[in-house]
Structure 1
Amino acid sequence: MGYTKEQILDLVKEQNVQFINLQFTDIVGIIKNVTIPINQLEDALDHGVWFDGSSIEGFARIAESDMYLQPDLDTYALIPWESEGDIVTARFICDVYTPNGDPFPGDPRRVLKNVLQEARDMGFEFNTGPELEFFLFKPAPDGRPQPVPHDAAGYFDVSTDYATHIRRQMVKALQGFGIVVEASHHEVAIGQHEIDFRYGDALRTADSAVTFRTTLKAVAQKNNLYATFMPKPIAGINGSGMHVHQSLADVKTGKNLFYGADDEHGLSQLALNYIAGLLEHARGMCAVLAPLVNSYKRLVPGYEAPVYISWGQTNRSALVRVPRITRGRTQATRIELRCPDPSANPYLAFAVMLKAGLDGIKRGLTPPPAAEEDLYHIDPRSRALETLPGSLGEALEELQRDEVVQAALGPHIYERFLEAKQQEWDEYRLYVSQWELDRYLPIY
């Protein structure tokens, strides 16, 4: 896109914009927002906008709180649900800087940029395509969220899918942000949906994933529904994943470097090294990719979510899946990591995945033999398969052992992320659930 400052100023005048939302995310991936009137835009583009970072999750302590936002001009877009009638609002996604003008190490977008630069220095561009699943629920009479599905449809259903028109509204709103949507459909579970957008540059797809979540929540709310990206809101049915398709391209030519004509899976040695890196660090990066207590209720056998650290072609029970390569479309060669869920911070998730893959390439790691059988119905002891962590607590222990994943996050975010998630795990451990009362109170 490549907007200049002058083009932006002309555009806001032409579109009659009155307000600008300056957006960024905290370490857990929640969008934060500073709104300025349009007469402050030119100054914001020249000098940034100051804010207090001490109140943002994982950003800064009181003594180091002052920082400023610098808009990324290429992320300019009108906000569809805030641009109706006379009041028009646009947004920029921003990078965060310290008072002396250095990039702030606690900015998740900066973390991804740092690892992307490491890849470029090795001659690679990183491309991703996340698939975010979500549920649409009917809110309670008082407006609070509740896990009551909006419909009773199943995979790709039409007649019982009451959300077709809502997904179309969502697609239209996403397109307003310049996000190219490729498909939308009802997912396996009742009330569950998926909208896929175009594969591309990892920074832009991370921006799109963050925008995607807020957009879908806003459109759902307009339809008196609640969109949730909670990984497992209902027991006994499939949870929501964020499968991430990924590949490396040559930084100079753009050629896909994962394709290998002589390999039975159609993969290059570089791709195999990359897969081995993902498998090597799967346990260490799980706390970033599946960051909630609830995430580990999804990562269990029987619900199309991976459990074993394995890879295979078109095997949806494997952690890393290699989609079949269409003849004549080798540029689309990619691998898919299936453990992330849509509660993850996309910037941090992409950063740790790329760092893990690059480690596999640097060390020349080789993956184990591909697993092509259904791993949900085998005895894992027969294959000596390692499993993903079974809880957030176990995942945090693995994160503390994995120096490569820690390096991807950087000391600032690693320490703050670990602190926040350890607190979340401790609160859960101390909580007495209804299940425990129902199970034990009548007996003991």
Structure 2
Amino acid sequence: MSGAPKAKVIPSTHLEDMADEGAGFGGFAAGEIGQYPHDPEMASIPDFNSLTIVPWRKNIAWVAGDMYVEGEAWHYCPRTILRRQLEKAREKGYIFNVGIEAEFMLLKQDETGSYAPWDKLDTLDKPCYDLRALHRNLDTMTTLIKYMQELEWEPYANDHEDGTCQFEANWTYSDALTTTDRHTFFKWMVKTLAEERGLLATFMPKPFTNLTGNGAHFHMSLWDEENQTNLFLNETDKNGLSQLAYWFTGGILKHAKAVTAVTNPLVNSYKRLVRRPPRSGSSWAPVYVTYGANNRTQMIRIPAPGRIENRLGDGASNPYLAATVLLAAGLDGIENQIDPGAQNEDNLYEVPEDELQQRGIGSLPATLGEAADALEKDEVIKNALGMEYAEYYIQVKRQEWRNYHLSVSQWELDNYLEVY
């Protein structure tokens, strides 16, 4: 559920056995995947379409797998859940193409064991695109680009982002399953590169109160069955979008609160979705259920003709589950021809709250608890995940929220201990 990859090393001499029978796992030991210690073993059946030669150890290949239990596809497997939703889209004649903007921070432990941005010269209030900070990290970034080029992902940009020691890498979009596999591998690759340099790479949504959080923006479009024609493209429209794209957008807006429980899955996620700016002057994260043209204060932005960008998700989201719920919401928008309404042009961080209410602009959930409640009420999104898995997901997230409230934070000690 966390999206953290679990693995076994299989020697090539036993590759054929693994192809047929899969690699065995005790599911309960692997994390939240719907198993308990007494349950039968899970088998990860490799999907060799995902085979990736590890660039820094070329005698090793990484292969994503689908989980099976007693010969049946396991309905708690996030990759299987996405496959099922993609098949629903394919039945309607659609291929779901996705590109993900992956943001991360590079940190280092100090003498007390606490983590902080590693580069002590990276101190600008507005460090985004800073050449000097990027140059100090050039060995790491160019190595990352080289690896992606070797993998034929077609990387096209890499930059210093809005937070101290925060970076982003972009590569060319693909079909949703390919992109989510690559995103999973990418996070491991970045963490490995950082560890080789004595650093920690984190995709945590909001590691520091005073710095911008880590997003995972999804750029989305639907194509025809042959993946030759972009069905979101209409060159005569002012935004370059087709009616299909607007309905898809309307569906995501309608289901936004439930979607948030999946695209923003942690207690910490909701400390990124705020109006209050960090040191740079803007959180660059959505707070309201809106869409607009090339406007980065919106939940959904139209960055270019033929695609929409959901700016909601963060670096902790499981990409398979996030793609599933976004596609399900969009398809519901198409099926019911949901009008997204008028697009917003304002800087929504500055519009007064009472005016937003008068204009009927809704807010995204403010906490993980609120998001779990919204998911529980949304039949479309629960059906996309599978009812059993959705209830399991809600249960896990509510327990996470309760555990958070049972812990005493340093903020409480600082503000209450001596006063009361």
TM-score (norm 1): 0.88
| Structure 2 CA distance for aligned equivalents of residues 355 and 269 of structure 1 | 17
Q: CA deviation at 1:226?
A: 0.8
Question: Do residues 148 (structure 1) and 117 (structure 2) align?
Answer: yes
Q: State which drifts further: 33-42 or 125-134.
A: 33-42
Pick from 44, 51, 57 the counterpart of residue 69 of structure 1. 44
Question: Do residues 136 (structure 1) and 109 (structure 2) align?
Answer: no
Pick from 93, 96, 103 the counterpart of residue 73 of structure 2. 103
Pick from 205, 208, 213 the counterpart of residue 187 of structure 2. 213
Matching residue's letter, 1:225 = L
Q: State which drifts further: 133-142 or 238-247.
A: 133-142
Q: State which drifts further: 169-178 or 248-257.
A: 169-178
Match of 1:112 in 2: 82
Pick from 325, 338, 347 the counterpart of residue 352 of structure 1. 325
| Structure 1 CA distance for aligned equivalents of residues 327 and 9 of structure 2 | 33
Q: CA deviation at 1:344?
A: 0.3
Q: CA deviation at 1:74?
A: 1.7
TM-score (norm 2): 0.92
Matching residue's letter, 1:103 = A
Question: Do residues 41 (structure 1) and 15 (structure 2) align?
Answer: yes
Helix, strand or coil at the partner of 1:246: strand
Match of 1:7 in 2: none
Does the CA contact (< 8 Å) of 1:123 and 1:250 recur in 2? yes
CA deviations on 1:270-326 (whole Å, 9 max, x unpaired) are: 11110000000100110100011111110001311110110000010010001133x
Question: Do residues 167 (structure 1) and 136 (structure 2) align?
Answer: no
From the superposition, tell whether residues 178 and 416 of structure 1 become closer, same or farther in structure 2 (CA, over 3 Å).
farther
Match of 1:386 in 2: 362
Match of 1:272 in 2: 246
Q: CA deviation at 1:63?
A: 4.1
Does the CA contact (< 8 Å) of 2:106 and 2:201 recur in 1? yes
From the superposition, tell whether residues 191 and 123 of structure 1 become closer, same or farther in structure 2 (CA, over 3 Å).
same
Helix, strand or coil at the partner of 1:33: coil
Q: State which drifts further: 261-270 or 206-215.
A: 261-270
| Structure 1 CA distance for aligned equivalents of residues 227 and 203 of structure 2 | 37
Matching residue's letter, 1:431 = S
Does the CA contact (< 8 Å) of 2:95 and 2:227 recur in 1? no
| Structure 2 CA distance for aligned equivalents of residues 79 and 124 of structure 1 | 32
CA RMSD of aligned residues (A): 1.6
User: Where do 5+ consecutive residues of structure 1 fail to align?
Assistant: 1-26, 326-332
Helix, strand or coil at the partner of 1:64: coil
Question: Do residues 92 (structure 1) and 92 (structure 2) align?
Answer: no
Does the CA contact (< 8 Å) of 1:58 and 1:416 recur in 2? no
The count of residues paired between Structure 1 and Structure 2 equals 405
Q: CA deviation at 1:138?
A: 1.5
Q: CA deviation at 1:198?
A: 0.8
| Structure 1 CA distance for aligned equivalents of residues 104 and 227 of structure 2 | 36
Match of 2:379 in 1: 403
| Structure 1 CA distance for aligned equivalents of residues 375 and 320 of structure 2 | 17
| Structure 1 CA distance for aligned equivalents of residues 42 and 151 of structure 2 | 27
Helix, strand or coil at the partner of 2:297: coil
Q: CA deviation at 1:145?
A: 6.0
| Structure 1 CA distance for aligned equivalents of residues 409 and 340 of structure 2 | 41
| Structure 1 CA distance for aligned equivalents of residues 285 and 226 of structure 2 | 36
Match of 2:308 in 1: 335
| Structure 2 CA distance for aligned equivalents of residues 82 and 262 of structure 1 | 49
Matching residue's letter, 2:19 = L
User: Where do 5+ consecutive residues of structure 2 fail to align?
Assistant: 278-282
Match of 1:425 in 2: 401
Match of 1:437 in 2: 413
Match of 2:288 in 1: 308
Match of 2:280 in 1: none
Matching residue's letter, 1:29 = G
